[in-house]
Chains A and B, each alone.
Chain A
Amino acid sequence: MEESNRQVPVTVLTGFLGAGKTTLLNRILTEQHGKKYAVIVNEFGEQGIDNDLVVDADEEVFEMNNGCICCTVRGDLIRILSGLMKRADKLDAIIVETTGLADPAPVAQTFFVDQDVANKTKLDAIVTVADAVHLSSQIEDHHEAEEQIAFGDVILLNKIDLVKDENIEVVTKRIRKINPFAKIIKTTKCGAPLKEILNLDAFSLKRILEVEPDFLESDHDHEHDDDVTSLSFVSDTPLDMEKFQNWFGKLLQTKGQDIMRTKGILDFKDENDRYVFQGVHMLMDASPMGKWPENKERSSRLVFIGRKLDTMNLKEGFEACKSE
């Protein structure tokens, strides 16, 4: 592209109704930060935001005709982002609010799939606002609540003033079990500094090297088949690139609907560079990211978040990729 304009970062804001998304949006729009933020809200959103930089959207999700069965995108977002890019004044960031019951995946996938969107904007992070009082019961009752936690790069655990300390611990543990690499920020009235929410660059591959997930033990309690969980693997033995590509490619192709997010740093045999990747369902972004630091042990780390992970033989598959 000839246009040298930088890509405008887009933050996806998700969370159940009543968790505090509107409180956060109002803060973003009214605080004196000297920045220009546009907010794309949904038609079923809570009332109370009135600002020239608020755009109504329809949350239209559609399938791409590209043969990828879980490749759904937000059509309205393509339209609105392309409109916002024609503005005379350049935006510092765009925030997309999704309804409490929406799956965040199509929003994220839009940035992987649409070339025009990818040229001018970039997905910055998925921010999930969770209600510390109700999250546990919401996770039990609504798979969407679980998915929003699973997709989050940042989770604002809001309304902690209304919950006892020991209960905050329980909720935090529940979140960690679903999503080991999200940053959890505990707030009342979504009062976190905006710099911890916007412009995080969480989807850049470089960032993955900086924010290492909590690698949990891989053994886990008995879960329902439908529970969203995470599994992580570490190997000090270098991996065989061809074996890994075969295994991982087939895995995403066949199980991509149940695998919600993946992230990893890989050490391949006979390769000097670190390989970093991340994916949303079947779509993946991967690249060598420079040499391994000299003071650091080389190892491969891989995290999966999704459903039915224990039926995918992930451990066996990963072990089989080791170069021996």
Chain B
Amino acid sequence: MTTDLNQFPELDKTKFEQRGIQLEIGVPVTCAVSIGNNIAAGFGDGTVRIFSSGEKHKTLKAHKGVILCMSKDGDNILTGGDDGYFLKISLNGEINEITNFGSRWVDHVTAYNGNLVCSSGKVVYYWDKTKKEPKSLNHDSTIGGLAFDAKGRRLAVSRYGGVTIWKKDYSNKWKSTKLDWKGSHNKVSFSPDGKYLVTSMQENVLRCWRLKDKLDFAMSGYGSKVKSFAFISDTSYLATSGAIDAICWPFDSEGPMGRKPICLPYIGNKQVTYIEPFPDEKAIFAGLSDGSVFLSQIENENNTIIIRSFTGSEVSAIAMTDDKSSIFIGDMNGNTLWTSIWDQ
């Protein structure tokens, strides 16, 4: 399963492209999530496409404008759009409106175990599955990202000046603690083991907090903004975009402080724009600014294969089905690839 990088056939279709389904949708792919063995992808024209193996994909007209964010709640897709709608969409295409903020965008959505969350501007709305009306959690500035921890107990909200962590106390009241660092924080994530919290910032840097003692540190050296990152194989590594290499910081028992990252190089010196973990393996899919996508083993840089070749447009979504059989790739020009990973 290896390709010699020096003999990379640049203009030929990869075997994944040959056996998969390639579409030219013509509008940006903005997001994608796996729902069981299906992939749901959101587009700049408000459509959601659902890809399932062995059948033609379904196209749903969900939003009137751009689908800005996507998450899942069990077997349902959650989407937020620039039309102000927060929607819940079932795999068979049933669309339910959760709420509608008018001209205010729904910037971020997430969920845990039936409790639904979205943010619009400075406010996070939390729908407890047992209640009809949402709880509003207010912040002083616009929200850059939302993330639950692995157990759904803490909700991290990134914003200007740091992160607010919300948690319900024993009397079921919302309590917040703040992690402060000057600057604008965007995407946020807890490490799967719950020990760290990471944000990507407006500057070309990541901020990380060790939660037990709030020790904070930067991960820097990037040539551009880090728009995509993911924890790999539980909490072994944090793989990040933002450089011409995929930068993988070690997050094992010793933590990343004072240690060097593993840098996975790709041919062509293009920026890595998207990172998606290969579930349960120390391996990542890396999408580049020219549309190419590679699968790499982190601890063996020679073990890299090309999944999709050059399209000329930045990779903006990658998602793998839960059974690890197929992947979906999308870019800003709307070129998509839906393919099985394994040779038949």
Contacts and interface: CB of A to CB of B under 8 A. Distances in A.
A54 interface: yes
9 contacts: A52-B64, A52-B65, A52-B83, A56-B121, A65-B203, A75-B202, A80-B105, A86-B30, A86-B44
Contact of B313 (A2, A55, A63, A80): A2
Q: Give the contact-size bracket for chain A.
A: 20 to 34
Contact of B314 (A3, A66, A75, A87): A3
Contacts, number: 89
Interface in A97-123: 114-116
Given A58-B121, A87-B44, 5 more contacts: A2-B289, A2-B312, A65-B201, A83-B68, A88-B46
B289 A1 contact: yes
A134 B103 CA distance: 32
A62 B184 contact: yes
A273 interface: no
Residue among B103, B270, B291 with most chain A CB within 10 A: B103
Contacts of A87: 44-45, 65-66, 82
5 shortest A-B CB distances, which residue pairs?
A: A88-B45, A88-B27, A86-B44, A86-B66, A88-B44
Interface of B: 26-28, 30, 43-46, 64-66, 68, 82-83, 103-105, 107, 121-122, 141-142, 144, 160, 182-184, 201-203, 224-225, 270, 289-291, 312-314, 332-333
A115 B65 contact: no
A66 B202 CA distance: 11
B142 A55 contact: no
Contacts of A56: 103-104, 121
Contact of B183 (A65, A79, A116): A65
Contact of B107 (A66, A79, A86, A116): A79
Contacts of A58: 121-122, 141-142
A60 interface: yes
A78 interface: yes
Nearest to A80: B105
B142 to A, nearest CB: 6
A35 B144 CA distance: 32
